[in-house]
Amino acid sequence: MKQGGAPPTGAWIGSPLGGVTSPDPVIISKPVERFAATAARLESLATDHAGADWLRFMAMLTRAQQVIAEAGGNLAVTSEQSLSQAVAAGMPPLAADGHDRDPTWRDGLTLLLASLDLDPLPPSARHIIDQLQGQTPAAIDRLADDFLSGAVASAEIGAVLFVAAALQVYFTRRAAQFDAEQIELLPERGLCPCCGSTPVGGVITGSGATPGTRYLYCSLCSTAWNHVRAACITCGESRSLALHGIEGDAGIVKAETCDECHTYAKMFYQAKDMKLDPYADDLASIGLDLMVAEAGWSRHAPNPFLL
């Protein structure tokens, strides 16, 4: 499914001739479409945006991700036994913190760096890219481990941006090998059922068989999964949820805050703009993050590109 598009029709409950439809619990992303849609949305959002240069850079980076996705290449396949064992244990089959990465992910990083247009980049960014291109495989894998474990040193943030971009493509391609019916929601519903990562936010659908359904979008493998709207995606409580937006904007994005755990997560309303993309619109709405953070709430989980 193209990111930002309506989820496919769910299965009929009761009579096949009519009745209430059930939302699909899991939607597996199509890698090329996912990165192409995000890049196009970033390019569109950059127009007249206060952070236009940064959004255009992120669009260029996402186009490089699209190049990796289009290049394809062989990836290891998760065995049916490993998949069924993980699902039976209530664990994600591509658990980011324990997954044995196929070394070909580094080929994706090499291609990503080679696909970037260096001319508009500042000298500091070009220096980081030069350094990455000269790193040993072991050093590159250490950066990947640091990112996936959430232990990125401040001096490595610049390099990890590109490593995270390559890992996003790798995990999105690995997740695309699954059939959505093979995956089950985790007991901890705020985590991705494919890789166990946190979402960048949620999309409230504006069309399709079940408009108003909330899907969370994984920050790593791009999988979307259904999550009830009446519960905090961090702690599961519903007693003190509230929505906050920037006064006078189009209402496409709001921050859902929870006073039980003092966190917030972004929600994107498809009915306000059918072209929205949770990955792109998250980056373009950083002003909302600043406003909500100043009011005392902490983000449910950081966007990998906002480290």
C-alpha–C-alpha distance, residues 160 and 157, integer Å: 5
Give the C-alpha separation, 304 to 64, whole Å.
16
- The chain-wide mean pLDDT, for the chain, equals 90
**How far apart, in whole angstroms, are the C-alpha atoms of residue 54 and residue 58?**
6
Q: CB-based contacts of 75: which residues, under 8 Å, 6+ apart?
A: 102, 104, 170, 173, 174, 177
Residues 6+ apart with CB under 8 A from 90: 184, 186, 187
DSSP state of 306: G
pTM above 0.75, yes or no: yes
User: Check: CATH 3.90.1670.10 for 26-307?
Assistant: yes
CA distance 124 to 128: 6
Q: For 112-143, what is each residue's pLDDT tens digit?
A: 999 999 999 999 999 999 999 999 999 999 99
Res. 269: pLDDT tops 80:
yes
The model's confidence at residue 307, banded by pLDDT at 50, 70 and 90, is low
In this structure, the strands spanning 21-22 and 214-218 are unpaired
* Cα end-to-end span (Å), the chain: 28
